Amino acid sequence: MRDIPTSSTKERRASRAAAACRFFISAVIALSLPVLAGQAQEQADVDAGAAAEVYPGAPPATVIARKDQLVFYPCSQCHATMTTDTTVRELNVMHVAEIDHGEGRIWCMNCHDSDDHDTLQTLLAEPVDFDASHLVCGGCHSARYRDWAFGAHGKRADDWQGDRILYACTECHDAHRPAIQPRAPEPPPAVRSGLEREPGRIEKQLPGWRQSQEEQP
């Protein structure tokens, strides 16, 4: 005959089942936290971003905030106790050793507000938040700015459908040395097994459609 479980046995089984359930839920939460934290931070960056001022006809967009990535921001933490010297001179400071921008025609106060060090400025001396630095770049680089506004230049976050979330110009370009520096090309991928060329043999490579024609009788 089968043993009839007693009330204490049922309680132990229920306790073990509840413990296993709690362990499973805790494991799922622990594995999900890094993903959720990353998504929350990305959404926070988007929420803190500035709406892109685009060219007429360009779809609306949001620019990902970057101030939290700037090592020396806010600038006022040092400059609040300093007297601003607007004289064009050779720099001898800790953050920028040399400005390689505009072939010598650009200096600090062309883009930085001398009265408010935590703010940028346009060529018309209009204040611009650091998270809207694209407005400063577009004052000189109008063609590139137009391409960026319409999506032909720069990078887009998230997806190609839905809301447009864009990276700012300074995500790729150093504002003080904006030219992209040349890089050595990566080595070619390894040749798949069985496709190696025979030593000393040189063949004329035909396009795929030509090869199929050559194989026809």
pTM: 0.61
* Owner of token pair 């400059």: 79
Most confident of 29-43, 49-63, 165-179: 165-179
User: What's the average model confidence in pLDDT over 159-186?
Assistant: 88
| φ, ψ at 62 (rounded to 5°) | -120, 135
Residues paired with 174 in a beta bridge:
177
Task: For the chain, give percent helix, strand, coil, nearest 5.
Answer: 35, 5, 55
Contact partners, residue 149, CB within 8 Å, separation at least 6: 52, 54, 55, 58, 61
Rg for the chain, CA atoms, rounded: 30
More confident residue, 93 or 157: 157
126-147: average pLDDT? 92
What integer pLDDT is reported at residue 163 of this predicted model? 84
- Judge whether residue 56 has pLDDT over 50: yes
Query: Taking 60 as the threshold, does the pLDDT of residue 25 lie above it?
Result: no
Mean pLDDT (whole number) for 185-208: 74
Q: Which one-letter DSSP state was computed for residue 127? A: E
Per domain, the residue ranges of the chain are 49-171
With cut-offs at 50, 70 and 90, classify the pLDDT of residue 43.
very low
Look at residue 208 in the predicted model and tell me its pLDDT: 62
Question: How many of the other CB atoms lie within 10 Å of CB of 66?
Answer: 19
Highest-pLDDT range among 15-29, 138-152, 203-217: 138-152
For 184-205, what is the mean pLDDT? 76
- pLDDT, residue 42, reads 46
Dump the DSSP string for 148-191: HHHTSSS-EES-SSSSEEE--GGGTSBTTB-SPPP-PPPPPPPP
